[in-house]
Structure 1
Amino acid sequence: MDTQLLNPIYEQSFRDNWGLPALTEYGKKHTLNYADLALDIARTHLAFELSGIKKGDKIALIGRNSPGWIVVFIATITYGATIVPILQDFNPTDATHILNHSESVLLFVDDHIWENLEFEQMPNVRGVISLTNGKLLAEHPLNEGKIAHELKNINRKFRRRYKNGFGPADIKYAETSADDIAVLNYTSGTTGFSKGVMLSYRNLWGNVTFGVQSRLHFQGSRCLAFLPLAHAYGCAFDMLVPLATGTHITVFGKLPAPNVLMRALSEVKPNLVICVPLILEKIYRKQILPMITSKRMRWVLAIPGLDKALYVMIRRKLVEAFGGEFEEVIVGGAPLNREVEEFLHRIKFPFTVGYGMTECGPLISYTPWRQFIVSSSGRTLAGFMESRIDSPDPENVPGEICVRGVNVMNGYYKNQEATEAVLDKDGWLHTGDMGTRSSDATIFIRGRYKTMILSANGQNIYPEEIEAKLNNMPLVAESLVIERNNQLVALVYPDYEAMDKFGISNSQLPAEMENVLADLNKLVAPYERVSKIQLIANEFEKTPKRSIKRYLYNA
């Protein structure tokens, strides 16, 4: 398909997969098949129509992952309106700001979130509908009760419209331009200020088409959607691509605890696992690292042959932990710790690391696990995206990664200045990430341009690389490397669970951290050595995407 139109993909998918299971909420028995999904979308379209929604209107969506959340999202883009997914983790003030900035005219929201919002602060919103039970929660006084009146008899009106029942032939979605805005995705960014990323139907088409062509999902495959669907990463590859292929999606209502997630993986047995580095890193640090660093295991690993047998055993257990029937685990959303990555590669665990950002909806580069190069972030998507490095020697000297192509956003909503700061006149998106690029367009990320530290002798220091090593040290839960008085200082939030396990008291912790510092400085280059570790009492403040708000700690 070269027309870059998204809605016909879903028209065809829902017809072709009419009788197959589509959506199940984890822990509940009820499943929507594709026929049910198509019918619920048609009913939502009628609700939009009765509420006076026009093509291009903004419809906001705040709630946990659920089949109802998915219905509203897909119904909005197939109607020709613009969906504004708002993370349920945003506080009420931020959520209200996004509702107003986006000029959303309709809001779908979970009841428990609605309790903390003030309708009087949303002058553009005509009506609020519950994701929990579909009821109208509020209507703007100037609307004079029109939505309530129209929705009162929606079932009767739906039956009247489809007198012979709703069938595959009745699926007909809005005709849209590839440049029309399908999603307005707000990200807090690194500065703490939200920007509305305008993702067009073309951007979504690029991500979906690549996913379908790559057979990331396929008809009848199984998917466990546990990442937030309001994020571009989970949205594209745990929802948009699966629904374009006839995949059965099992939806998690909230980010689950590791033990609950592992149980769900063993039950659902997904054919593809989409995850963030934190999950793999926790498994490595809590389960694998203590085992391979024990005195007995170090002895086993030193004997040729036995080490391979041990790695086979670890790989088998890890594969079983993720359900045992997946083609690969795709890691994205943040850099994967280098030590963890190298170990997973050593045991031949089927994983790959991709690279993307909300501004590309999200995918920029990806390589199937059998061709994946350790420490890379995959190859730039051939036929969809191109990349270059702003560097005199792109293969060896890091520079800013710039990308261009089908997946690149239209810009930031009502923010021309921010748009011009990242999108140049030739269409190149300046990502703010630093890295190198091989001749086959494989990308190697070093760190963020804004966090790079220039040493006194002119060396570029990427704090993320030092933090990755430090986070694998005993007693370190998370860390942040900053510059103070021309020296590197590591802020460390201790691993209190590990302290309890090893019987280390608070008074003993500073001495233990001196040992950690000495071990760290043996692993880094001379110009990357850290002068001291400063302990902090509380976890680092984070964005809704769970990224540390670095700007709060640079003073």
Structure 2
Amino acid sequence: SVKNYGQADFLSFVDEKPLTFDEVNSEIEKLKSLLSKHGIKKGDKLAILSVNMPNWGISYLAITFLGAVVVPILPDFHESEIENILKHSGAKGIFVSDKLRGKIEHLDCKALSLCIRIEDFSVFKTDTELPDALVPDNSLIAEDDMATIIYTSGTTGKSKGVMLSHKNICSNAIASQKLQNISVGDRMLSILPMSHVLENTLGFILPMIGGGCTYYLPQAPTPSVLLPAMEKIRPTIMLSVPLIIEKIFKLRVRPKLTKSPVLRTMYKISFIRKLLHRAAGKKLMKSFGGELKFFGIGGAKLDSTVEQFLIDAKFPYAIGYGLTETSPLLAGANPGDGSLQSTGPPIDGVEIKINEPDSKSGEGEIWARGPNVMMGYYNDPEITAEVLTEDGWFKTGDLGSFDNKGYLYIKGRLKNMIVGSSGENIYPEEIESVINNFRFVIESVVVQQKGKLVALVHFNREELETRYQHLREEITEHIENQIEELRSELHDYVNARVNKFSQLKTVVVHAEPFEKTATQKIKRFVYA
């Protein structure tokens, strides 16, 4: 990339002058020298605990170019999780940003001999005496060498260390480049954590391969930070999780389209709704800077109502499917080539099959094979053997099926599936999809309690307050009454739309947003 795009922009904060590929390469060489002087060599583990910034990527590349192994840590991990990751991985050092330094100050990590402030690469802790004469490590780095250990932000509660090789990551980025070409002049605005595999491979490595420039926000991606950034950068490429675009639709777009009784009546008419969606889509594109050509969505299933809006709005979205264990992308389609609620076909070089499909529905567990499938779980051969077959198939744990065009559809997680009293397979994600289409609902979780299905539902109080603000003093009491009516109505609404064994026993109002992983998937184990 340095040879091909040396003078092109590569990494930058939104409000700063971008570093070119040549400038980044120079910084990488300096950092490699610093790490070598502190005894870091091929195979050593170095963690990165930091918010997004250009120096995150420089640290990542310096570590991997030495043949050492990156251990990215999600910024929202608890101190105890961080300590477990550092101990389990055997990390010798860590790059940490100022905002997160407090999370490591009291940790008991004896193996951690080198601590570096990522903002300026200054060393603030070292147990290594600098050698008088540096002996460079000229070990060759092979494509099958380990590049990173990524600890999953699992919805089941236990993080596993996923070992990915240089080949795993690069093959996935190259295949993704064939799906959506990125070249010099493209601008990626990063809003997902770089420590997550989705942003790491597709938001960092992929633009690097194609010569694009990635911009980072100086603060968390709240609307007040994100909107001015999009106006300034005018991104051509963005990656997101479903919850972000779902919130934009449910909290910003739909309330404006249904703010009066007349509009609500018109919105129920299909062809008028499409016209309203198209008009809203033009405004949405403008708010994203007006030059967006690819808005990739992954990490969880997208709400069908929101996806239909994106289709009507002609918004350039694309849904991808993958896992940390597959570096991550397995299936995807270009904007305009998708199919409602499908992830698209397998990407180049990847095989996907449905293992032991149901004879009627064609559904079964999704298995995948390809150069992007992980090496295994770090220091956990037993769990590795449970998910990797001898002939290279990875058991994803997801249930799905193919249509006659070869497009993949995800049913839900195998471990989330609930077995009914008569042996029926109940998929909570399907029931949640029905719930989330109900007015004023932001998100929901369906769980089984004492053999009965219970829905925990988070309603949009903000939208209710806006609608009934004319009541003033009585608004709080009125909204509480309104939510109780919605709760009862939602119960009947859902049960009229699902099969008998998937019907809800009760709906419980959940006042606060649900606890989520870094990719905004609800941590189901908290509510089970």
Matched, 1:420 2:376: no
Structure 1 CA distance, aligned partners of 2:57 and 2:115? 17
Distance 1:113 1:273, change over 3 A: closer
C-alpha deviations, 1:115-164, integer Å up to 9, x for none?
33236612112211111232111112xx3x438x99xxxxxx9xxx9xxx
* Pairing partner for 2:157 from 176, 183, 192: 192
Name 2:327's counterpart in structure 1: 361
* Residues 395, 436 of structure 1: 8 Å contact kept: no
**1:64 Cα deviation from its structure 2 partner:** 0.4
Matched, 1:64 2:48: no
* Residues 53, 216 of structure 2: 8 Å contact kept: yes
Name 2:288's counterpart in structure 1: 322
Matched, 1:92 2:58: no
Q: Which amino acid aligns with 1:314?
A: A
Distance 1:178 1:127, change over 3 A: same
**1:99 Cα deviation from its structure 2 partner:** 1.1
Aligned counterparts, 1:271-420, within 5 A: 271-293=236-258, 294-300=260-266, 309-382=275-348, 384-393=349-358, 396-420=361-385
* Residues 394, 437 of structure 1: 8 Å contact kept: no
Q: Which moved more, 1:113-122 or 1:48-57?
A: 113-122
Structure 1 CA distance, aligned partners of 2:77 and 2:418? 31
* Residues 148, 165 of structure 2: 8 Å contact kept: yes
Q: Which amino acid aligns with 2:335?
A: W
Name 1:235's counterpart in structure 2: 200
C-alpha deviations, 1:214-256, integer Å up to 9, x for none?
3431122111111111000011111101111211111124431
Structure 2 CA distance, aligned partners of 1:270 and 1:470? 33
**1:457 Cα deviation from its structure 2 partner:** 4.1
Distance 1:335 1:194, change over 3 A: same
* Residues 179, 201 of structure 1: 8 Å contact kept: yes
Is the partner of 1:270 in helix, strand or coil? Answer: coil
Structure 2 CA distance, aligned partners of 1:369 and 1:552? 35
* Residues 274, 312 of structure 2: 8 Å contact kept: no
Structure 2 CA distance, aligned partners of 1:103 and 1:306? 59
Q: Which amino acid aligns with 1:63?
A: S
Distance 1:507 1:420, change over 3 A: same
**1:535 Cα deviation from its structure 2 partner:** 2.2
Aligned counterparts, 1:131-170, within 5 A: 131-140=118-127, 143=128, 145-146=129-130
Is the partner of 1:146 in helix, strand or coil? Answer: coil
Q: Which moved more, 1:501-510 or 1:258-267?
A: 501-510
Matched, 1:541 2:515: yes
C-alpha deviations, 1:17-56, integer Å up to 9, x for none?
1111111112x32321111101000101111211111111
* Residues 182, 207 of structure 2: 8 Å contact kept: yes
* Pairing partner for 1:447 from 412, 422, 425: 412
**1:102 Cα deviation from its structure 2 partner:** 0.7
C-alpha deviations, 1:379-415, integer Å up to 9, x for none?
1113x21011123447833211111111100000001
Name 1:476's counterpart in structure 2: 441
* Pairing partner for 2:38 from 51, 70, 83: 51
Structure 2 CA distance, aligned partners of 1:537 and 1:302? 29
Is the partner of 1:190 in helix, strand or coil? Answer: coil
* Pairing partner for 1:24 from 6, 9, 12: 12
* Residues 92, 111 of structure 2: 8 Å contact kept: yes
Name 2:397's counterpart in structure 1: 432
Name 2:503's counterpart in structure 1: 529
Is the partner of 1:378 in helix, strand or coil? Answer: coil
Unmatched 5+ stretches in structure 1: 1-12, 151-156, 162-171
* Pairing partner for 1:510 from 459, 484, 491: 484
Distance 1:440 1:255, change over 3 A: farther
TM-score under structure 2 length normalisation: 0.92
Q: Which amino acid aligns with 1:105?
A: K
Structure 2 CA distance, aligned partners of 1:395 and 1:333? 28
Structure 1 CA distance, aligned partners of 2:279 and 2:269? 16
* Residues 428, 446 of structure 2: 8 Å contact kept: yes
How many residues were matched structurally? 517
Distance 1:519 1:146, change over 3 A: same
* Residues 357, 365 of structure 2: 8 Å contact kept: no
* Residues 196, 518 of structure 2: 8 Å contact kept: no
* Residues 339, 469 of structure 1: 8 Å contact kept: no
C-alpha deviations, 1:485-533, integer Å up to 9, x for none?
3321101233332342333343553233112222232333333221211
* Residues 394, 438 of structure 1: 8 Å contact kept: no
**1:57 Cα deviation from its structure 2 partner:** 1.1
* Residues 362, 402 of structure 2: 8 Å contact kept: no
* Residues 47, 70 of structure 2: 8 Å contact kept: yes
Structure 2 CA distance, aligned partners of 1:396 and 1:461? 14
Is the partner of 1:506 in helix, strand or coil? Answer: helix
* Residues 177, 206 of structure 2: 8 Å contact kept: yes
Matched, 1:261 2:261: no
**1:188 Cα deviation from its structure 2 partner:** 3.3
Structure 1 CA distance, aligned partners of 2:275 and 2:465? 32
* Residues 47, 95 of structure 2: 8 Å contact kept: yes
Identity %: 33
Distance 1:256 1:298, change over 3 A: same
* Residues 436, 444 of structure 1: 8 Å contact kept: yes
**1:484 Cα deviation from its structure 2 partner:** 2.4
Q: Which amino acid aligns with 2:489?
A: N
Matched, 1:79 2:66: yes
Runs of 4+ more than 6 Å apart: 302-305
Aligned counterparts, 1:111-122, within 5 A: 111-118=98-105, 121-122=108-109
Distance 1:39 1:395, change over 3 A: farther
